A and B are shown apart, each in its own frame.
Chain A
Amino acid sequence: TLLPNITAIPPWQQHPNATSFAAAWDAFTKFAGCHSGETRDGLSKLKQYFSNFGYIPNSPSSNFTDDFDDELEKALKAYQQNFNLNVTGQLDDRTLEQIVRPRCGNADIVNGTSSMNSSKSSSFQTVGHFHTTGH
């Protein structure tokens, strides 16, 4: 839908309660507080989300479970690092708030090649830290 002018939108459509959109990822908010070792209905969809954006290596046979396993925790930590969140590995409120935001469909991590913060910090730790400390 192309809205030619924000002021021309009919009043009935502007009322927040009148919209019946189904934001694709709103359901993820029910996982607030979920942590490693738990099993929750629908966690597989969150794993699919992380897979779509490159945080879980994708394979044709990907069949995600509803378990909060090491794979999800690792993905979550990389995501939190990329979005400047506290790296807790848990589905805290701030992380979920970021996850459900509308976004670009391009992956953050492409072909397993880490990008954004999650790669920069690791290269800093293995290379940069030593040299900068020396100087």
Chain B
Amino acid sequence: YTFFPGTPRWPVNRRDLTYAFLPGNELTDEVKAVFTSAFQKWSAVTPLTFTETDSYSTADITIGFYSGDHGDGEPFDGVLGTLAHAFSPTSGRFHLDADENWVVSGDVTRSSIPSAVDLETVAVHEIGHLLGLGHSSVEDAIMYPTITSGTRKVELEDDDIQGIQSLYGSNPNYNGSTTPTATTGDRESSDGEI
């Protein structure tokens, strides 16, 4: 695992993070649930929590689908190529290429569309960036930079867990398995309260 230069991370007083979706995208609840699931992967192994908010302007993390040049100096390039990018803490900006064929649910490996990309796979990866992880050379890690279209990889590997826990510490409920023990919305707070 690697970090961004300077090892930026969310400060101690900002560990209960909110996220919001670009209102113009008008995403369905089903699509939003994919991101909820992706955030949960990281909250299961750290003390961080993630809660959706309707207030786009005040959210810690903002998520949006954009096409081509969208004003941040990192234009998207259409189908495949670059799929998404996210900024280091505490920017919170998470951008996805709207031109991809994003698969929201179902087994993407069954798709014969060569350009089908599993949304949750990319979401889990980009959240790693939002939290401060850079790219990893470990091919099985979530933070490996490339994916093969038509594949799905959403479970954190040891490399990802070691990296994120060195930034934020471990979730008190984390037992060495990334299998969720509680949902994002109702798990224990950092001081032990339910």
Contact = CB atoms under 8 A, between A and B. Distances in A.
Nearest to B118: A6
B85 A104 contact: yes
Nearest to A114: B2
Contact of A2 (B5, B31, B80): B31
Given A4-B105, A6-B116, A21 B83 contact: no
B85 A116 contact: no
Given A14-B112, A115-B134, A2 B102 contact: yes
Contacts of B54: none
Most B Cβ at <10 Å: residue of A9, A102, A116: A102
Interface string A77-104: 0000011100000000000001001111
A133 to B, nearest CB: 24
A22 B79 contact: yes
Contacts of B24: none
B86 interface: yes
Give the interface size class of chain B.
35 or more
B5 A104 contact: no
A104 B82 contact: yes
A4 B113 contact: no
A61 interface: no
B112 A105 contact: no
A6 B107 CA distance: 7
Contact of B82 (A21, A22, A105, A108): A105
Contact of A102 (B81, B86, B106): B81
A7 B78 CA distance: 24
A111 interface: yes
B60 interface: no
Contacts of B119: 2
A24 B134 contact: no
Give the interface size class of chain A.
35 or more
B77 A106 contact: no
Given A3-B102, A113-B5, A115-B134, A105 B85 contact: yes
Q: For chain B, what secondary structure do more than half of its interface residues adopt (helix, strand, loop), or is it mixed?
A: loop
B100 A19 contact: no
B147 A103 contact: yes
B5 A111 contact: yes
Given A83-B137, A104-B125, A23 B80 contact: yes
Given A103-B83, A104-B126, A4 B147 contact: no
A29 interface: no
A106 B114 CA distance: 23
Contact of A3 (B77, B83, B101): B101
27 contacts: A1-B101, A2-B28, A2-B102, A2-B104, A4-B104, A5-B105, A6-B110, A14-B112, A14-B113, A19-B114, A21-B78, A21-B115, A24-B77, A24-B82, A25-B80, A84-B137, A84-B139, A102-B83, A104-B83, A104-B84, A104-B85, A104-B125, A106-B85, A106-B145, A110-B4, A111-B5, A117-B137
Given A1-B98, A19-B113, A104-B84, 6 more contacts: A2-B119, A7-B106, A24-B82, A25-B80, A53-B145, A83-B146
